[in-house]
Amino acid sequence: MFNMARILPVFFFLFALAFATGCDSPASRRMESTESATQESITNYTGRGVIRSLGADGKSVVIKHEAISNYMDAMTMPFPVRTPSVLKGLVPGDSVTFRLRVTATDGWVDQIERTPSNSFPVASPALPTNSESSTPGPEIRQVPVVAVISPGEVVPNYAFTNQLGAAFDLASLRGQVVVLDFIFTRCPFPDFCPRLSRNLSALQKRLKESPPLTTNCHLVSLSFDPRFDTPERLTNYGKAYGADAALWSLSVASMDTVERLAGHFELYFARDVEPAQQNHNLRTVVIDRQGRLVKVFKGNQWTVDELAEAVVGGDR
């Protein structure tokens, strides 16, 4: 039988999501921009590097780059591209200069210019790209061989320690929908780990506005940099995003645990490296109240609305 007392709050929660969609659509967030198209302050940096791969859709490029003065150490990472034409004629292996444009919440590259081949050394070691269209290369330690979990399958139990130093595990969260993502607090680029944390912060706000889901959902951000991300650092990181420890656990675990859990969702990262050598993809996972996988969000192009809808689905 339908429980009307349970259905009505969920209905109003979905109605609020639909109303908010127009304000947070992918088109509005990823719209082609000029300096006047955003009210956020843009800081420009100049970089040099070697192209490792090009996104098939013309919207991203992976560059193995030198240290970017006053912003980022040398590393290999994918950058969004807002004007696909800037990639015209470029191929993997090209040495390039580029402009990196960064706001408090976003970042992208433009003004990509080819330079003479091998015109400068790139300080960082050769790391493979782990974009969604690629597979990890030999330079990154492979995660243990574990089964990739499909929607409807139970997620195995794993144990963590949260920002308060308290131990918990996935089994202890049964009866709640779990939203799980993977981050590291030293991630420098606003479009990667910081974007995931902003999205979870926005979801936390929406959950608090829907009392049934406030108690029926728990957020877990698991660091894959546990040697640096101590509970104290995770607490400070959480403060920047308004994390409520009762609702959002910023967590660490042994690297063996992180690797095995990550493998279930095809998340790749470099183990025990400095940020300059870190190269990773992105996963955000929704697990239902019975511990079964609802959905895996790959990358960062999903919206808070889509994530919230998956949470509602997991609460049924």
pLDDT band for position 129 (cuts 50, 70, 90): very low
Taking 60 as the threshold, does the pLDDT of residue 272 lie above it? Answer: yes
pLDDT band at residue 105, thresholds of 50, 70 and 90? confident
Band the pLDDT of 275: cuts 50, 70, 90. low
**For every residue of the chain, which 3-state class applies, written as one string?**
CCCHHHHHHHHHHHHHHHHHHCCCCHHHHCCCCCHHHCCCCCEEEEEEEEEEEECCCCCEEEEEECCECCCECCEEEEEEECCHHHHCCCCCCCEEEEEEEECCCCEEEEEEEECCCCCCCCCCCCCCCCCCCCCCCCCCCCCCCCCCCCCCCECCCCEEECCCCCEEEHHHHCCCEEEEEEECCCCCCCCCHHHHHHHHHHHHHHHHCCHHHHHHEEEEEEECCCCCCCHHHHHHHHHHCCCCCCCEEEEECCHHHHHHHHHHCCCCCCCCCCHHHCCCCCEEEEECCCCEEEEEEECCCCCHHHHHHHHHHHCC
Write the class of the CATH domain 159-314. Answer: alpha beta
Q: CATH assignment of 42-114?
A: 2.40.50.320
Write down the mean pLDDT value for the chain: 82
More confident residue, 129 or 111: 111
Between 191 and 242, name the one with better pLDDT.
242
Average pLDDT over every residue of 62-68: 90
User: Measuring CA to CA, which residue among 298, 315, 301 is closest to residue 218?
Assistant: 315
Q: Where are the domains of the chain?
A: 42-114, 159-314
Higher pLDDT pick, 2 / 257: 257
pLDDT on residue 119: 58
pTM of the complete model beyond 0.75: no
Q: What confidence tier does 37 reach under pLDDT thresholds 50, 70, 90?
A: very low
| Mean pLDDT value across residues 290-301 | 95
- Answer yes or no: is pLDDT of 126 > 50: no
pLDDT tens digits for 199-210?
999 999 999 998
Asked which of 45-59, 140-154, 244-258 is least confident by mean pLDDT, the reply is: 140-154
Query: Residue 65 burial (CB < 10 Å; 0-12/13-18/19+)?
Result: buried
Confidence of residue 26 (pLDDT cuts 50, 70, 90): very low
